[in-house]
Chain A
Amino acid sequence: MANLDLETVSQEYYDVLKELGNIGAGNATTALAQMLQCKVDMSVPQVRLLNFQDVASLMGGEEQLMAGIYLGVDGDITGSIMFLLEKGSARHLVSKLMGMALEGEDFSEMEMSALQEVGNIITGSYLNSLSSLTGLCVYPTIPSLAVDMAGAILSVPAIEFGTLGDKILLIQTQFFDEIQLDGYFILIPDLESYGKILSSLGIM
């Protein structure tokens, strides 16, 4: 698997990821709805292989303020995953979760912790669906949160993908409660893990 090239991943693999995105987003939506105690809808996720530069423009430019939750994955497959949410959407979620309007522009420590929990639940839902789809054991590590420019946050997964190629694999999901929330999910398995995911699904 050492010579796997991201640019040549097969159509089947996209379909698998799309399905994974779908199930993951479905689980995440249910979890969010329970947490917020309201109805949350979602759109069909889009899976895309994009150039580094295009990922940031898709999110509204390199300077767009985003909240990024980043965590490692251990177990049968290793790697890391990241969930990104536009800062306004993140504030909306946190204020709903805490049942009050947020003051000021920045997140307080309490609000950061609530946001981390949101990220935890959403990424956990994706990992669960990955695990049940493939039958592989997947454990998340403790998540870490950053609120900064999209370009700066994306540099982390971009660098990890950068060791493989010039593209990034992005799963985009939209959630709706009262407002539309754009969420982006980036799965970064190590090279060997790609092979494990594919073979456990009977593709390779």
Chain B
Amino acid sequence: MSEIIKVGMADLKVCVSPDAVTTLGLGSCVGIAIRDPITKIGGLAHIMLPDSTQIKNNSNIPKFADTGIVELVRQLVALGANQGRLVAKIAGGAQMFAFQNKSDMVRIGDRNVEATKKKLSELKIPVLAQDTGDSYGRTVVFYPETGDFVIRAVGKEQRVI
């Protein structure tokens, strides 16, 4: 019996097919789905901020794009995934409000997406698809079996990337 494992905000989870991972209501945060297509081991991280080195209180590893991705990869490899085969898909990074006042908080969604792609490229993990930006929330489900990344948004057709 397959299970869909829930990932909270500033959280990450790994699983083996046929299980899947999901996170609900991604806003400016980014959901990073990574899998090994051969072993069908996959995982999902829900990061909130781009860079742990900019923040004093940075002990919460899954909260940041840089540390969260490294930890997700570490857990995938520990579960038996081959790091050289890992591929990623990303979603989220919306700007929920037309303007957000604090200068460093402007475009936080975009900055999360940029930081995510930068870290993935450092780790030589290709980004196969992305559904990012815009101004609406997304619920995502990731199936390590097929690599399907299902994206739902309010008042929109479900998409699979």
Contact indicator per residue, chain B 8-32, by CB within 8 Å of chain A (1) or not (0): 1111000000000000111111000
A165:B26 contact, CB within 8 angstroms: no
Which B residues are CB-close (under 8 A) to A74? 101
Give the Cβ gap from A59 to chain B, nearest Cβ, in Å. 10
Considering the chains assembled together, what is the distance between the CA atoms of A5 and B25 in angstroms?
27
A148:B136 contact, CB within 8 angstroms: yes
A5:B9 contact, CB within 8 angstroms: no
Given contacts A159-B28, A163-B55, contact A53 B100 (CB under 8 A): no
Considering the chains assembled together, what is the distance between the CA atoms of A160 and B102 in angstroms?
9
Chain B residues with a Cβ closer than 8 Å to the other chain, count = 34
- The answer to whether B45 has its CB under 8 Å from any CB of chain A is no
- The answer to whether A38 has its CB under 8 Å from any CB of chain B is no
Q: Taking each of B8, B10, B94, B101, which has the highest tally of chain A beta carbons within 10 Å of its own beta carbon?
A: B101
- The answer to whether A117 has its CB under 8 Å from any CB of chain B is no
A152:B27 contact, CB within 8 angstroms: yes
- The answer to whether B127 has its CB under 8 Å from any CB of chain A is no
- The answer to whether A98 has its CB under 8 Å from any CB of chain B is no
> What is the predominant secondary structure among interface residues of chain B facing chain A?
loop
Give the Cβ gap from A53 to chain B, nearest Cβ, in Å. 4
- The answer to whether A166 has its CB under 8 Å from any CB of chain B is yes
B154:A148 contact, CB within 8 angstroms: yes
Residue of A nearest to B11 (CB): A53
A156:B96 contact, CB within 8 angstroms: yes
Considering the chains assembled together, what is the distance between the CA atoms of A158 and B8 in angstroms?
12
Counting contact residues on chain A (CB < 8 A from B), the size range is 35 or more
A72:B101 contact, CB within 8 angstroms: yes
A166:B10 contact, CB within 8 angstroms: yes
- The answer to whether A153 has its CB under 8 Å from any CB of chain B is yes
Residue of A nearest to B49 (CB): A162
Give the Cβ gap from B44 to chain A, nearest Cβ, in Å. 14
The one of B11, B25, B63, B102 in contact with A152, judged by C-beta atoms closer than 8 angstroms, is B25
B10:A162 contact, CB within 8 angstroms: yes
Residue of A nearest to B8 (CB): A53
- The answer to whether A61 has its CB under 8 Å from any CB of chain B is yes
Give the Cβ gap from A148 to chain B, nearest Cβ, in Å. 4
Which B residues are CB-close (under 8 A) to A53? 8-9, 11
Give the Cβ gap from B96 to chain A, nearest Cβ, in Å. 5
Which B residues are CB-close (under 8 A) to A25? none
B102:A156 contact, CB within 8 angstroms: no
Contact indicator per residue, chain A 54-86, by CB within 8 Å of chain B (1) or not (0): 001000011101001011101000111000000
27 pairs across A/B with beta carbons < 8 Å? A52-B8, A56-B25, A70-B97, A70-B100, A78-B102, A80-B101, A80-B102, A145-B97, A146-B96, A147-B154, A148-B96, A149-B139, A150-B25, A151-B27, A152-B27, A153-B27, A155-B28, A155-B137, A156-B27, A156-B97, A156-B100, A159-B105, A160-B102, A162-B48, A163-B49, A165-B57, A190-B102
Chain B residues at the A interface, C-beta cutoff of 8 Å: 8-11, 24-29, 48-49, 55-57, 60, 63, 94, 96-102, 105, 108, 135-139, 154-155
